[in-house]
Structures are given as C-alpha cells and as structure tokens.
Structure 1
Amino acid sequence: MNVYEEYKKKLVSAEEAVKIVKSGDWVDYSQTCSFPEDLDAALAARRDELEDVNVRNAISMKPVQVVEQDPDQKAFTYNLWHCSGIDRKYVDQGRAFYSPMLFRNCGSYYTRGYAPVNVAMITVAPMDKNGYFSYGLTNCCMQEMLDAADHIILEVNPNMPFVFGMECDHIHISEVDYVVESTKPLGIAPGGAPSEIDKKIAGNIFPYLYDGITLQIGIGGMPNALGGLIADSDLKDLGMHTELMSDGYLKLYQAGKITNKKKLLNRGKGVFSICNGSTDLYEFLDHNIDIMSAPMRYVNNPETIRQLDHFVSINGCVSMDLYGQVCSETSGTRHISGTGGQLDFVTGAYAAEHGQAFLAMSSTFKDKQGEVHSRILPKFTAGDVITTPRTQAPRMVTEYGVAQLSGLATWQRAEAIISIAHPDFRDELIKAAEEQKIWRRSNKR
C-alpha cells in the first residue's frame, strides 16, 4: 500500500465527511484536545436534516457547535463523560447531559457495548511516513472508542503534537473512512494564578512531600501553587503518573524536579493519559521521549498505582460532611464536574505501601449574593453526589490544616473535620455534630 495515495483517496472536506452521519446515530468526539472543531461545525450545519443524533464528548475546551447551533436540541443531544467550565454552562441550561462513570472503567463501556458509536470523529497529529497518526494529547479510552465505531473520520491538525505512547496511541490510514485537514489552534486551558487560599492549602500539603515520590496532581490554582512551591524547593527526583497532565507539571519539568528516576514502575518515564494546558505545554510534549501516554484503564487502575509505592495523589473537591463523605462533582443537584479519576487515585494511593492521597478545598465560598457558606456541612441533604465515600476519605485539606480520617471513629472524624473548617462556622458544626450524636468533646480553642 502506498500510504500517501491512500491518504489522498480519503481526503475530503469536513462537509463531505459528515454526510456519513444519519439520524439516530451516536457520534463520538472522544475527549478534551481530540475535539474535531471543523467536523463539529460541519455536523452542526446539518441540524435541519437530522434527528435524534447523540454526540458524546468530555471536557470541552471550545464552544461546541452542535450545541450552539441547535439550542432547542431538535437534531442533537450532547452527552458528557466529564465537564469543563463550558460544559457546566451547557448542563445548567439543560443543553447537555452527564454520564456517570469512573475513568478507569470508561473504556470498558465501549468494549462491553454500553456506549455505542456509529461515527467517531477525532483530531490527530499529521501522518508519518508509515501511514500512522498519533493520538497526541488524548490517549484515555480512545482505542476502545475507535474499536467500537462503525465509521472513523480523522481531523488532521499540525498543531496536535506527536506523543509517544505505551500502547493504544496511534491509528493507521487503512483503518479510517475519511480524512479532513484543519489548522485550527487546539483548545487551551492554562492554569490560573493561585489565590492566597490556594497558596495556604498548598503550604499545608507541602510538608508531606519528600524526595523520590511519584505525583498525581489535578488542575487549577492550588496545583499551580503547589507546583511553584516544589519548583522553588530542594525536593528532587520526583516522578509523574497522572490521568491529566497540566501546566503544573511543566513547571516541575522545567525546574528539573521531575526525573522519574526513582519510580518502581515505568522508570525514567513520565506517564499521563490526557493532557490540556497551554501551547507551551503542548510544544514541550511534541516528540518528547521522556514522557508517554497510556490508556486510562492502565493509568487509573488501582493495581497500577499500588506498584508505584511512594505515590502521592492531590485532587480538589467541592464539599464534605461531618461523616467524611466527599462531593467533588455537584453543588446540590447542580452538576459541576464529574467523578473522573478521583476515586481511582484515592483507592490506588491507599493500596501503595507508602501512598498518600489528599483532597483539597477552600473552607468557604461566596454565592452570587455575596453570602459566605461553609464547604463543610453537617450532612448532605440537598442532592449532592457523593464522589468519595466516607470509608475511603483520605487526608482532607483546607487553608486551616490537614485532617487525616482513615481509621477514625465518627466522633474523632467530626473533631478532625471541624478543626479545618472556617472558624466562623465551627460552633454551629459542633452543635450539629452533637445533635447527630457524633460528638464526644469540644475542640474549641
């Protein structure tokens, strides 16, 4: 086979490619940076021709045209494995729907037939001389999704970096129906500047870190603050094993803190499954032999994490109650994010011989009217979705300290949790704990 002739034969416009979609189909965009921007716009333009087309994606980084151009959902229904800020607005407006999942199991939903795919549309890096396209920044459950698809369309974009992978990281020209070319910039999600509270939370976690640990950190102001602390510290020979690679890791690589030399598994290699961040991060990953992508079923598998021994997982959450139940995806019934890999990493970190897991949040938040509310609640009663059950709650962190919950009785948990609540809310939390019969003595200072 002459792969270049095959490429030319399959090269069409986005408008021509999306004609393969029929009413009633399930169309999959995969996740985050694999979003096929030109194909999405071309599909949206067919809104008057189609009915009951389901589109599946996760962590949208740009406005999604099948949503924007079909506000009444006459043609398209938008479904999400995980929510970004853009997706949260769509869900708030009733224009998108969340699919509950654990990231380590996401691929199996495709292989077991729970998530049908009639047409897959994904962005990939340009073809190499052997006819292969790198999946670039998204490994995740890409291969399982493509294997389940009846038809595959590639949106080839030179802005997508070539990323080396452990497995399931590329596709051959012979396996696809159509190729479309695009030069659109990839979606970016550069980390925001950390707040003073983010810095305090990071400062509370930092003493638990030491040379040679393998890090999994989430995305946002607090991980960026922690990355800055580590970059300016004497810590050395850290490792990376993470579901999502963000700019926090770029800081650590640039400061020489991550070498991956002490990892017991995949020694010498930083491992991630999906990536979003800045253009600088994407350029850093292009043909970087020191880093490899891997499927989520491997990266997020607690058995994989267990083998990393000195493993530290740091993620954010939304709220918790006095029993140690943790919500990381809703505020009441309002959907915010998703389960993602939080429970995967909490489980895996505990299984690792010297593993540690931290879930962090600010102690309070302000609503739209400016009223301050505690993120630590007596009990969940407003429909909040429990992400991490009390039986697996790890070290909880606010700007007021760290509460280690494993092995504690209910009264001990209540004391530990109230000790990291905002002082203005501690008295009422103590009163609630007394009423709930989980209070033995006051820890008021």
Structure 2
Amino acid sequence: MSRLTDGLRPGMRVFVPTLSTESSVFVDELRADPERASGVTFMGVQFPGIDRVDYLKLHPEARQQAFFMTPGVRAGLAQGRAELLSLDYVGIARHLAEGPPPDLAVAHLTTPDAEGWCSPGLASDFMPLAWRRAKRRVAHLNPRMPRTQGTFRVHVSELDAHVEADAPLNPFVEAPAGEVERRIGQHVAQLVRDGDTLQFGIGSVPLALAGELGGHRRLRFHGGLVASGLRTLWESGALDRDAPVTTGVVLGDVGFHNFIAQLPTLHMADVTHTHDPARVAAIPRFVAINAAAEVDLFGQINGERVGGTIQAGAGGLPAFAQGALSSPGGRLLVCLGATARKGSVSRIVPVIGEQGLCTLPRYLADAVVTEHGVAEFRHLSLDARAEALIGIAAPEHRAALQDAWRTLRQSV
C-alpha cells in the first residue's frame, strides 16, 4: 500500500488521530480521492475548537461516530449520518475496550528511532486504546512530531502500512486572558497550596491562573492535557522540577512543542491512567480546576449545554471531580464568569432546566469561583449553599436569584 487510505472500504469503522495529531496527509489523501470515504464510519475524540477536519464533508456517504458536539457533527445528526455518544472520558475508554473494534486505526507518530520505535508525540489519550484492538494499523510518520516518553509506543514492524511525510502539526493558540479571567485566577490562586497537584484544562482562565501562581512552589501536574500555562509555571519555578508532569495531550504552537520535547519530567499516558478516579484519589492534595457553562443554586454543574444547544461533552470533568473529592486534602474548583451575553444573562441560575444538562450532580459540589469571589459549600446546608452562590453572582442579578430561591424553597 502506498497510501494510508488504500485499505479503506465501505462499511469500515476507522479510528482517526485527533487534536494535536490530526494528520493532514491522511485527510489530503481523502480529499484527493473522496470515494475512499464512501460508506466509511470515522471515529475519533474530536474536540470543538481544536480539531479542524469535518469527515462528513469528504463524501456524502461518509459517516461519523462522535463523543463531542462540533458544527460538523450537528449537521451530520440532522442528516442521519452522525451519531453522538453521551459518554465521559471514562465511558469512552470503556466503549473502546468493549465495543466493536475498529477495522482500521490511523496514527500520527514520530519517525522511528534507531531501534525502530515511534513515539505518539503530542497525543496519547485514546489512540493506544483503539490501537490495541484494531484489525489493521497504519501511520503517518512525521519528522516534525516531537518525541515524547510515556506508556505507549509503536514499533515500525507493527504497521500494516505507513507514509513518511514532513507536514505541519495542528497548532493551538489560547485566547488571551481578560480582566474577568484574571480576577478568577487570583481567587483560585489563593486556594492553591504549595505542594498541591493540579489539574486544569485549556482557555483563558488556566492561562490567567498560571500567571498568578508564580510565587507558589513544589506544584505538580496530573491531567488530561497541557498547554502554554504549564510553561509559565515551569519558567516561574512554581513546578516541582523532580515530579512527573503526567498528561495525555499537548496543545500549543511550535514553540510550545519544542519546550515539551525538552521537558525531562513529561510523561504521556492514556485516559485509563490520567482519568482513573481511583488513581487520582491516591494522589494527596489533588486540586481539579475546571470550567462550567452554568451552576444552579443547588450546586448542580452544567458543563455541556447552553441555551438548549449542546456545545461540548462531559469530557474529563466527572472523573477528576470524583478523584479530587476522594483525594486526601483534595479540592474541586469550578470556574466560570458570572455572566454571559455582555452581562445580560447570569451563569449562576436558580435551577438547571430543560435548556441545560447536569454534568455534575449537587453532591459532588465543592467550590465555585467567579470574578466576584469563591463559594465554598462542601459542608453547607441547602439554604447556605444557595446564599453562597448568590453572593458570587453578578450584583445586578442577585435580587432576581434571591426571589427565585424563595420560590424554589417553598416547594423543596
């Protein structure tokens, strides 16, 4: 086989590389010969705002199995060509282990070293799980892919086919932090203790938080992905130089990729390691820092649906929440701006209704942070919890929330 797509046939289920390891070579082959995509179901954990390939646009008979909502998946659902599985990261891992195996797994790897081993480079989250069970395995071997160390590697002899090609990697640039994000970061930094193990994702809040943690020391990291905030922590001296930085995905530009390639403590692992609640619980003082779309006065967290439209998926939030709350001294910090739509909509809401989804139930609530402060309510009563949340809502929305709570309280 001279191309990665030569083995594609109608009816096949194909697991594709995503995030930083999207392969332009694989996609360009499909665009040059779109009939290869006819009748093929493409699988992969594509993340909205990061992954760029819309597999359903390659051919009118292409299909997709997805785990996060994207614009392409939304259109595919309307056309009956896509299916969206309602699973968090632990559930996706179980699905890949127990569901029908892929007919083909396509990986994007480094070129082989002197002994023939290829590194997964910037992403080792789900590909190892699909790779083990795939009936056939092919790879794009890219000299630009940084070589990283971890639990997964591929010997060139395992490959049914490969194409070696120099190609740009999928870049990721985070939006700069604004005043709201900086204030949230300041509040969170006051809750983080020297020696804590942190988990945080991407976006302007983690970026702002990293800048606020420069005076901390001996911090550690265990999470699903790393981005430029990690470099800020490293260069400020906040990270423990001897502790492993454990992650499944690296997101960033070429400069960050080069930094990661030289980071001696980086350890890449799949989601059965990074997102295992029991493994997380065994890490003392594990602090999970995550975002949400809205929080209601009972402490329920909606991290997926806004205005009746699904925007993302549960992701790693449930696993990290359970693990952090079982960790000795662990914390779960949920961060969000107090308002949306230029202040007209409060993101602290009376109760998650038919326009939202409950990603985390109220019994997993610990602390919520907005630019107006911190509501710590792990040990608070029903009424005290609502009062604390109203106290960190935008001032212009507090009276309406208090009125709504009085009405809700009558029917509790």
TM-score normalized by the length of structure 2: 0.93
Alignment partner of 1:294 is 2:280: no
Equivalent residue, structure 2, for 1:380: 352
Equivalent residue, structure 2, for 1:89: 71
Unaligned 5+ runs, structure 2: none
Say which of 64, 70, 78 aligns to 2:64.
Answer: 78
Say which of 419, 424, 435 aligns to 2:391.
Answer: 419
Do the aligned residues in 2 keep the contact of 1:199 with 1:225 (CA within 8 Å)? yes
Equivalent residue, structure 2, for 1:106: 92
Q: Secondary structure at the match of 2:224?
A: strand
- The separation in 1 between residues aligned to 2:378 and 2:133, in whole angstroms, is 40
What whole-Å deviation, never above 9, does each CA across 1:342-392 have from its counterpart, x for those lacking one? 1111111111111111010001111xxx67111111122234121111110
The code of the aligned residue for 1:221 comes to S
- The separation in 2 between residues aligned to 1:439 and 1:407, in whole angstroms, is 23
Q: Secondary structure at the match of 1:106?
A: helix
Do the aligned residues in 1 keep the contact of 2:26 with 2:140 (CA within 8 Å)? yes
Say which of 217, 225, 244 aligns to 1:244.
Answer: 225
Alignment partner of 1:194 is 2:183: no
Say which of 244, 248, 254 aligns to 2:235.
Answer: 254
Structure 1 residue 260: deviation in Å? 5.1
The code of the aligned residue for 2:28 comes to A
- The separation in 1 between residues aligned to 2:411 and 2:233, in whole angstroms, is 43
Say which of 44, 47, 50 aligns to 1:59.
Answer: 47
Q: Report matched runs for 1:260-299 at 5 Å.
A: 261=242, 268-286=243-261, 288-299=263-274
- The separation in 1 between residues aligned to 2:228 and 2:410, in whole angstroms, is 41
Q: Secondary structure at the match of 2:103?
A: strand
Alignment partner of 1:429 is 2:405: no
Alignment partner of 1:227 is 2:210: yes
**Displaced runs of 4 or more, over 3 A:** 44-51, 67-70, 91-98
- The separation in 2 between residues aligned to 1:282 and 1:49, in whole angstroms, is 32
> Is 381-390 or 147-156 further displaced after alignment?
381-390
Q: Secondary structure at the match of 1:21?
A: coil
Q: Report matched runs for 1:319-338 at 5 Å.
A: 319-338=294-313
> Matched residue pairs, number?
406
- The separation in 2 between residues aligned to 1:276 and 1:376, in whole angstroms, is 30
The code of the aligned residue for 2:72 comes to Y
Q: 1:21 to 1:143 in 2, by over 3 A?
A: same
Q: Secondary structure at the match of 1:101?
A: coil
- The separation in 2 between residues aligned to 1:302 and 1:139, in whole angstroms, is 18
Alignment partner of 1:318 is 2:304: no
Say which of 169, 188, 193 aligns to 1:205.
Answer: 188
- The separation in 1 between residues aligned to 2:74 and 2:139, in whole angstroms, is 31
Q: Secondary structure at the match of 2:43?
A: strand
- The separation in 2 between residues aligned to 1:198 and 1:161, in whole angstroms, is 31
Do the aligned residues in 1 keep the contact of 2:17 with 2:23 (CA within 8 Å)? no
> Is 96-105 or 241-250 further displaced after alignment?
96-105
Equivalent residue, structure 2, for 1:265: none
Q: Secondary structure at the match of 1:17?
A: coil
- The separation in 2 between residues aligned to 1:191 and 1:439, in whole angstroms, is 44
Q: 1:65 to 1:378 in 2, by over 3 A?
A: closer
Equivalent residue, structure 2, for 1:409: 381
Structure 1 residue 69: deviation in Å? 3.4
Equivalent residue, structure 2, for 1:34: 21
Alignment partner of 1:179 is 2:162: yes
TM-score normalized by the length of structure 1: 0.86
Structure 1 residue 94: deviation in Å? 4.1
- The separation in 2 between residues aligned to 1:82 and 1:426, in whole angstroms, is 33
Structure 1 residue 68: deviation in Å? 3.7
Equivalent residue, structure 1, for 2:369: 397
- The separation in 2 between residues aligned to 1:253 and 1:438, in whole angstroms, is 51
Q: 1:223 to 1:371 in 2, by over 3 A?
A: closer
- The separation in 1 between residues aligned to 2:157 and 2:67, in whole angstroms, is 29
The code of the aligned residue for 1:392 comes to L
Provide the aligned C-alpha RMSD in A. 2.1
Percent of aligned positions that are identical: 25
Unaligned 5+ runs, structure 1: 1-11, 262-267, 441-445
- The separation in 2 between residues aligned to 1:79 and 1:426, in whole angstroms, is 42
- The separation in 2 between residues aligned to 1:300 and 1:54, in whole angstroms, is 27
- The separation in 2 between residues aligned to 1:44 and 1:330, in whole angstroms, is 32
- The separation in 2 between residues aligned to 1:312 and 1:43, in whole angstroms, is 43
Do the aligned residues in 2 keep the contact of 1:78 with 1:97 (CA within 8 Å)? yes
Q: Report matched runs for 1:114-153 at 5 Å.
A: 114-153=99-138
Alignment partner of 1:365 is 2:347: no
Structure 1 residue 428: deviation in Å? 1.2
- The separation in 1 between residues aligned to 2:212 and 2:32, in whole angstroms, is 48
- The separation in 2 between residues aligned to 1:225 and 1:342, in whole angstroms, is 20
Q: Secondary structure at the match of 1:20?
A: coil
Do the aligned residues in 2 keep the contact of 1:218 with 1:244 (CA within 8 Å)? yes
Q: 1:349 to 1:188 in 2, by over 3 A?
A: same
Equivalent residue, structure 2, for 1:6: none
The code of the aligned residue for 2:55 comes to V
What whole-Å deviation, never above 9, does each CA across 1:206-253 have from its counterpart, x for those lacking one? 11112111111111001101101112x2x1111111111111101111
- The separation in 1 between residues aligned to 2:37 and 2:180, in whole angstroms, is 49
- The separation in 2 between residues aligned to 1:115 and 1:277, in whole angstroms, is 33
Do the aligned residues in 1 keep the contact of 2:174 with 2:203 (CA within 8 Å)? yes
Q: Secondary structure at the match of 2:386?
A: helix
Structure 1 residue 255: deviation in Å? 1.7
- The separation in 2 between residues aligned to 1:69 and 1:91, in whole angstroms, is 13
- The separation in 2 between residues aligned to 1:78 and 1:258, in whole angstroms, is 40
What whole-Å deviation, never above 9, does each CA across 1:117-172 have from its counterpart, x for those lacking one? 1111121011111111101111112222011211111001112111111x2x2011
